[in-house]
């Protein structure tokens, strides 16, 4: 078996995530304690106790999901899980790409955490400086969604799986596009409860500042095959990984393409390490024959 590890993106977070890992795994506990030290604020308390409004903030939930995913991985390794030794591929949705890169050895834990924390901080600033939103378009082709985006000057932010595409842009344009979609026979269109227009041109200020920040960060070659959201293909050269992380802030997340590429490269099973089981759902909707499991808390291990 050749295992592909999947790491969650923003929106998967929930209050209480990681608490059972902290209480039962010394390896996971060490990462949470280190995270508090690196960040200078109490990630553990917000992750384990909330409130939800605080955990949902972009600058908080991105590092919280990063630490949770790697704490799950550390706890599995600590238990001597045989399947983890077979992990040859790592991929993550949006911020989860940084978790995947850290799992693959591109960054050590502290460096990866600083990268994701700065990304979250900059993206939150961009959200607060603009008036953006996003919407899910369900059951339609990429061509249909592209036409809708062109009509309302919006961008396709996420291609999650067949028939699930997220669009992004200015708030009023999203509202107008959803109304138009419903009036013209699109099966399901719904605005999402998000803080801003992620993976769109409204994130350009975040991208530019993130690019400067990453110039100071050392990148190593990955020890697993990692797939980038920007192309859906494998990426290995440190300079290419850095460029992909910068571009990803404003470009479409080709998540379905990443899953297809991982399977084509030799992945025979997928393991989601994160809350909610959302990514496992994407795998099943991409190809119901692909084996996938999801682990979120200590009992799952």
Model confidence pLDDT, tens digit, residues 46-95:
999 999 999 999 999 999 999 999 999 999 999 998 789 879 999 999 99
Q: Does domain 3-128+201-254+261-273 have CATH number 3.40.50.1220?
A: no
Whether residue 68 lies in the annotated active site = no
Instruction: Report pLDDT for 276.
Output: 85
Furthest CA-CA distance within the chain: 55
Task: Please indicate whether residue 94 is annotated as part of the active site.
Answer: yes
pLDDT of 241-273, one tens digit each? 999 999 999 999 999 999 999 999 999 999 999
Architecture of domain 131-191: 2-Layer Sandwich (3.30)
CATH 3.30.70.250 domain span(s) along the chain: 131-191
Catalytically annotated residue among 199, 251, 282, 294? 199
Res 107: pLDDT: 98
155-161 and 292-295 strand pairing: unpaired
Q: What is the pLDDT of residues 147-162, one digit of tens each?
A: 999 999 999 999 999 9
Domain with CATH 3.40.366.10 in the chain: 3-128+201-254+261-273
pLDDT at position 83: 83
Mean pLDDT of the chain: 97
Q: What pTM, to 2 d.p., does this model score?
A: 0.97
Residue 229's nearest CA partner among 216, 243, 215 is 243
From the list 47, 94, 200, 294, the catalytic residue is: 94
Exposure string (b/e) for 107-135, b if CB count within 10 Å is 16 or more?
A: bebebbbbbbbbbbbbbbbbbeebebbbb
The answer on pLDDT for 201 being more than 80 is yes
């Amino acid at each position: 078996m050749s295992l592909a590890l999947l790491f969650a993106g923003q929106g998967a977070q929930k209050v209480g995530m990681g608490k059972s890992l902290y209480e039962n795994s010394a390896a996971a506990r060490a990462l949470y304690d280190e995270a508090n030290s690196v960040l200078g604020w109490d990630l553990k308390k917000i992750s384990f106790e909330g409130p939800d409004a605080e955990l949902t903030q972009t600058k908080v939930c991105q590092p919280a999901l990063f630490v949770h995913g790697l704490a799950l991985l550390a706890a599995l390794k600590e238990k001597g899980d045989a399947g983890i030794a077979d992990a040859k591929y790592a991929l993550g949705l949006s911020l989860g790409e940084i978790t995947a890169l850290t799992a693959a050895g591109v960054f050590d834990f502290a460096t990866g955490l600083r990268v994701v924390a700065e990304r979250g901080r900059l993206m939150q600033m961009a959200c607060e400086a603009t008036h953006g939103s996003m919407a899910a378009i369900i059951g339609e082709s990429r061509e249909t969604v592209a036409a809708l985006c062109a009509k309302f000057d919006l961008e396709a932010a996420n291609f999650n799986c067949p028939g699930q595409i997220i669009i992004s842009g200015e708030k009023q344009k999203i509202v107008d596009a959803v109304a138009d979609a419903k009036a013209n026979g699109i099966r399901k269109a719904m605005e999402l409860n998000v803080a801003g227009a992620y993976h769109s041109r409204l994130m350009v200020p975040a991208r530019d500042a993130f690019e400067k920040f990453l110039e100071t960060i050392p990148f190593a070659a990955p020890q697993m095959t990692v797939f980038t959201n920007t192309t859906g293909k494998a990426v290995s050269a440190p300079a290419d990984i850095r460029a992909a992380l910068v571009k990803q802030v404003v470009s479409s997340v080709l998540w379905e393409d990443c899953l297809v590429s991982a399977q084509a490269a030799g992945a025979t099973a997928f393991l989601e390490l994160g809350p909610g089981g959302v990514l496992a759902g994407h795998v099943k909707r991409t190809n119901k024959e692909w084996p996938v499991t999801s682990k979120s808390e200590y009992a799952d291990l």
